């Protein structure tokens, strides 16, 4: 009797799922476009019809368009607990979010912990700026793609060719997006300038076929990559040096669509370097390099903003400005880091490390036109003793309290949407971890801060 009831209930359940597909297509589409992202993640498994609709590019674009009409800028702040905290402690990468307005006069923000990646054997390293909400990670030699808004993580296949390709420190890993064909691609290059190590590997994400790495053709110039990458309008840029002249610095440009490399010469006597307080950023939709140095009298911080005006002609323009050093003195000996620029042309500056003793974390926005500076306090980013103790960040002594990574992904909107949700990138079989989120967003900028050793 009990077996018959179970069989009967099973049949009723199947009938219910079958009835879902009898709903008119237009009505189904209307229902799905009104659902939050976390519901869409679950409902793509309800039926083949729903999965087909939710994962279609047309549907994704329609949801993105609807979300874009009511933008809600957000900050994503990420950091890693320190190497010297505790040898036996879990190695964690934290993601916090906070609401933000570019022209908001508020002097403080409240951040909430949204996601944590943990490992006992190796740290997570962020290798490239965020691309439409996706963050490329290197972990224990593996290339991973993470979407903090949905807490999805996928692991890309190993690169054929041995351990040299699949070791954390032997390769630079980049993620790019081609807006013309609506495709995401991963690219790897060994950290070497020798002729034997000039191979580049590319992988196209998404689609029905299992992704696989392939060699990129036409790379003719020897070089060694040095910086993290940043994707702007279908091109991934990163700093490098070539052995043609002694340690000559260049910008490498990877065309995501054509899968071709080009090299952009830097202006002569520019002072651009890939070390210290220098960063490649997206400045009003163009690649720029920001250099910061103290004035001769030590009163000002001087900024040289080199903007790439024409990549083919290697043409750069320069904008110089400065602000009083006293704006930064409150942080003591903590060095600054350039985190990018917002749409208003404000340069975002942060400390490289969290303050010792659980103090507050601050952002500085420097407006290059008006020369004004605004300071914003961010509450909730590991500023409590309980949080630090719980997650093994370290006690208040000089040897243990280190911020290893800080990145700020600015100007986020609720568009996370099907990205990237289900995507053109993430296939159900690739998803390693899926959890619902009621704060979806897509960042337009990814910021990286170096670690203190």
Same domain, 226 and 117: yes
Same domain, 58 and 78: no
Asked if residue 20 has pLDDT above 70, the reply is no
**What's the pLDDT score for residue 246?**
64
Q: Which of 90-99, 100-109, 168-177, 281-290 has the highest mean pLDDT?
A: 281-290
β-sheet bridge partners, residue 403 = none
Domain-located, residue 216: yes
Domain-located, residue 77: yes
> Last residue of a domain, which of 16, 38, 62?
62
Other C-beta atoms lying within 10 Å of the C-beta of residue 155: 13
Contact 175, 131 (CB under 8 A): yes
Same domain, 244 and 106: yes
The CA distances from residue 155 to 145, 173, 205, in Å, are: 7, 13, 11
Same domain, 193 and 45: no
The pLDDT of 237-259, averaged and rounded, is: 87
Token pair belonging to 453: 């050793």
Same domain, 52 and 75: no
Domain-located, residue 447: no
In 80-178, where does DSSP find H-type helix?
Answer: none
CA 298/CA 288 separation, integer angstroms? 25
Q: Which of 148-157, 249-258, 415-424 has the highest mean pLDDT?
A: 249-258
Same domain, 111 and 27: no
Same domain, 274 and 409: yes
In which domain, by residue range, is 46 found?
A: 2-62
Same domain, 44 and 81: no
Share of the chain above pLDDT 70, in %: 67
Domain-located, residue 446: no
**What's the pLDDT score for residue 405?**
38
Three-class SS state of 247: coil
Contact 148, 95 (CB under 8 A): yes
What b/e readout covers 435-450, taking b as 16+ CB neighbours within 10 angstroms? eebebbbbbbbbbbbb
For 349-404, the pLDDT digits (tens) are: 888 777 666 667 788 888 988 888 888 888 887 677 777 777 666 543 333 333 33
Contact 118, 134 (CB under 8 A): no
Please give the tally of structural domains in the chain: 2
Q: What is the pTM of this model?
A: 0.78
166 or 239: which carries more pLDDT confidence?
A: 239
The pLDDT of 10-20, averaged and rounded, is: 52
Domain-located, residue 444: no
CA 146/CA 257 separation, integer angstroms? 22
Domain-located, residue 451: no
Domain-located, residue 124: yes
Contact 147, 156 (CB under 8 A): no
pLDDT band at 332 (very low <50, low <70, confident <90, very high): low
The pLDDT of 212-241, averaged and rounded, is: 87
Domain-located, residue 439: no
For 95-154, the pLDDT digits (tens) are: 777 776 555 556 888 888 878 888 877 777 777 778 877 888 888 888 898 887 777 888
Same domain, 265 and 395: yes
Q: Which of 254-258, 279-283, 294-298 has the highest mean pLDDT?
A: 254-258
pLDDT band at 33 (very low <50, low <70, confident <90, very high): confident
Same domain, 349 and 282: yes
Same domain, 189 and 264: yes
């Amino acid at each position: 009797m009990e077996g018959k009831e179970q069989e009967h209930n099973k049949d009723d359940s199947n009938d219910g799922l079958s009835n879902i597909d009898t709903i008119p297509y237009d009505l189904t589409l209307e229902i799905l476009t009104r659902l939050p992202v976390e519901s869409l993640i679950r409902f793509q498994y309800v039926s083949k019809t729903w999965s087909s609709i939710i994962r279609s590019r047309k549907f994704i674009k329609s949801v993105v368009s609807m979300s874009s009409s009511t933008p809600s800028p957000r900050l994503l702040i990420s950091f890693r607990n320190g190497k010297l905290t505790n040898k036996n402690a879990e190695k964690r990468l934290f993601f916090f979010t906070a609401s933000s307005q570019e022209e908001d006069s508020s002097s403080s923000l409240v951040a909430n912990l949204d996601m944590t990646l943990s490992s006992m054997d190796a740290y997570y390293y962020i290798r490239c700026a965020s691309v439409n909400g996706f963050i490329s990670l290197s972990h224990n030699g593996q290339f991973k793609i993470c979407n903090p808004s949905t807490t999805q993580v996928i692991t890309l296949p190993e690169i054929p060719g041995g351990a040299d390709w699949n070791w954390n420190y032997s390769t630079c890993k980049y993620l790019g997006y081609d807006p013309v064909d609506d495709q995401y691609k991963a690219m790897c290059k060994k950290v070497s300038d020798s002729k034997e190590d000039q191979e580049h590997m590319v992988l196209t994400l998404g689609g029905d076929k299992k992704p696989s790495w392939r060699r990129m053709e036409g790379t003719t110039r020897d070089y060694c990559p040095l910086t993290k990458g940043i994707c702007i309008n279908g091109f991934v840029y990163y700093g490098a040096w070539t052995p043609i002249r002694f340690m000559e610095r260049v910008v490498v440009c990877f065309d995501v669509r054509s899968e071709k490399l080009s090299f952009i010469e830097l202006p002569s006597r520019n002072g651009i370097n890939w070390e210290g307080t220098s960063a490649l950023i997206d400045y009003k939709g163009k690649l720029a390099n920001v250099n910061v140095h103290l004035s001769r009298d030590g009163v000002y911080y001087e900024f040289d903003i080199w903007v790439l005006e024409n990549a083919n002609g290697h043409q750069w323009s320069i904008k110089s400005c400065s602000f009083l050093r006293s704006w930064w003195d409150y942080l003591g000996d903590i060095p600054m880091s350039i985190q990018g620029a917002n749409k208003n042309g404000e340069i975002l500056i942060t400390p490289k490390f969290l303050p010792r003793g659980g103090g507050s974390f601050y952002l500085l926005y420097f407006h290059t036109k008006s020369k004004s500076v605004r300071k914003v306090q961010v509450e909730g980013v590991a500023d409590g003793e309980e949080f630090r103790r719980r997650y093994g960040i370290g006690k208040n002594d000089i040897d243990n309290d280190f911020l290893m990574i800080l990145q700020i992904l600015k100007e986020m909107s609720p568009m996370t949407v099907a990205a990237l949700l289900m995507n053109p990138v993430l296939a159900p079989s690739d998803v390693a971890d899926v959890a619902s989120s009621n704060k979806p967003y897509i960042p337009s900028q990814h910021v990286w801060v170096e670690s203190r050793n």
